[in-house]
Amino acid sequence: MTAVKESTARRPLGHFAERSVVGLLAVAGAGVAFGLLLMLVRFRWSPMYHADHEAAEWFNGLVAPHHALVTVLQAVTDLGGRPVLIWLVTIAVVTLLIRRQSRLAVYLIVTGVGGLILDPSLKALVGRLRPVVDVPVASAPGNSFPSGHALGSFVAYGALLLVFLPAMSPRWRKPAIAVAAVLVALIGLTRIALGVHFVSDVIGGWLLGAAWLGVTAYAFRLWRRERGRPVPPLTEGLEPEAGDKITPAPAEEHVLEHPRSAVAELLVGWVIVFGALYAFGTYVSYHAKGTVFETLDTDVPRWFADRHTDFLTELSWWWSKFGDTHAILIVSLVFCPLVLAIWKRWRPVLFVVLALFGELSLFLASARVVDRPRPAVENLDGQMPTSSFPSGHIAATTCLWLVIAIIVFVRTDRWWRWLFVALAVIMPIGVAVSRMYRGMHHPTDFMGALILSGLWIGLLYWVIRPNADVYEGNRPEIESEQVDELDDELAKAGRPG
């Protein structure tokens, strides 16, 4: 019996030792390969030098004549850029802290920061210049070796995959690994195709990324073994037991109880809202002569135009930016993951997504059919691709901050929930004043944006019921009075024992 028990106890350790030897060999192999490639690049080994330049010229000749292809390549390459990767890792770290998974949060921070340090330091050490091609289609600052996009994407997507694999169903894990591998490969290839890196730069980034990711994953697994925890294969993630904790919405069976009827209601509602916008927009644009609407649309833009100053023009430009596509997207991409992390429900996220998608489609459709010219004053933003009615900036700002206020207000009893109510008022008014000051919209364009936002958000609230889980008793992952405890999570993870 004693022998059997000892054999059973040693089996996990034996499996870990076997996997560790293979893992160490793989990590060491990647490190040695990178070191060899680094030396070849540093000393300009002639065969590789010529192969790199021939490949750069071939890709440039293939890609440069096709502007649509360049646009696609730019979109893919952005997925490996620092803004996207830092956003992904930051949101993941905050989510893990909210879900009380501080060890995994520390792992992501250490792995990500290491990748950020390795890229510029090695580029400065090697000092390799970027490719020079006949028809440049893209540019990038700094030196060339290794590729920061290849290194960063390998490290970031690989680390995120290792952390969140346990949250996936076993049947989806291999496809997820394959998707991540394909994405990393495509990002690296776009750097070559866009002419900002040599082939050896990208291969060097992949090798260094594999080595660094392997080192940090191996260190994490050693930490688990030293604390007597089982060390599963990496295909199960770093901490399989954390699967239930980091699953986005573990208790939500159905996002919507009746999805088919909801889709039908939204489609019918969209048509009705579009009809209201078309009717109001056509009236104030072409049939409101002699009415108060014509007086407002004539006098208000002139009043603003007569009061232009350098300071107000600069201020209006910055405030107007709060309503452009990038600002709306950034706020929503921060807010939605936080809602999902705290309340573990997809329905509020769906509410936000449908609000913005519906706003965009209604704006584009109504702007197209109404086709209203801009006010007859100086348009400080120049020629715009869309017409004046309704204001897309104002509508997007109103929809975004209104849905945020609706979601947050009923989900906490803390005083700061009123800040979101205030923002739902202040932000649209500020953007509206800025757009009218800059001569880009009439007052009735502002009214049209309010009609769009009010009708569409009201319809969505009635159909989606974004706060239904709160009324059914759902509690947040971390209570509002426990927010201060988040600062202690990283400290606990860093202490030994």
Give the whole-angstrom CA distance, residue 260 versus residue 477.
30
Distance CA 111, CA 119 (A): 13
Rg of the chain (C-alpha set): 28
pLDDT of residue 1: 41
Question: Cα angle vertex 94, ends 89, 95, to 5°?
Answer: 95
Q: What is the pLDDT of residue 253?
A: 66
Instruction: Name the CA dihedral angle for 465, 470, 474, 478, rounded to a multiple of 10 degrees.
Output: 120
Name 360's Cβ contacts closer than 8 Å, sequence gap at least 6.
392, 396
Contacts of 53 (CB under 8 A, 6+ apart): 131, 198
Residue segments in the chain with a per-residue pLDDT below the cut of 70: 1-24, 251-253, 474-475, 477-497
Q: Provide the residue type at 245 as one letter.
A: K
Q: What is the pLDDT of residue 7?
A: 41
Residues ≥6 apart with Cβ < 8 Å to 339: 345, 348, 349, 352, 407
pLDDT computed for residue 155 by the predictor: 93
At residue 13, the pLDDT reads: 42
pLDDT for 9 equals 39
What does the pLDDT read at residue 22? 59
- pLDDT of res. 14: 44
Three-state DSSP at 360 gives helix
- In tens, the pLDDT along 425-482 reads 999 999 999 999 999 999 999 999 999 999 999 999 999 999 887 877 766 765 544 5
Burial group, residue 412, by CB count within 10 angstroms (0-12, 13-18, 19+): middle
Q: Alpha-carbon torsion 72, 141, 331, 384, what sign?
A: negative
How far is Cα 164 from Cα 242, in angstroms, rounded to an integer?
9
User: Is the Cβ–Cβ distance between 188 and 149 less than 8 Å?
Assistant: yes
User: Which amino acid, one-letter code, is at 253?
Assistant: E
On whether the CB atoms of residues 221 and 16 are closer than 8 A, the answer is yes
Residue 305, H or E segment: helix 292-305
Q: Residue 98 in contact with residue 86, Cβ under 8 Å?
A: no
**DSSP character string of 196-214:** SS-HHHHHHHHHHHHHHHH
Helix axes 392-409, 347-370, angle to 10 degrees: 160
Residue 117 sits at the vertex; the CA angle it makes with 115 and 119, to the nearest 5 degrees, is 70
Q: What's the confidence (pLDDT) of residue 343? A: 87
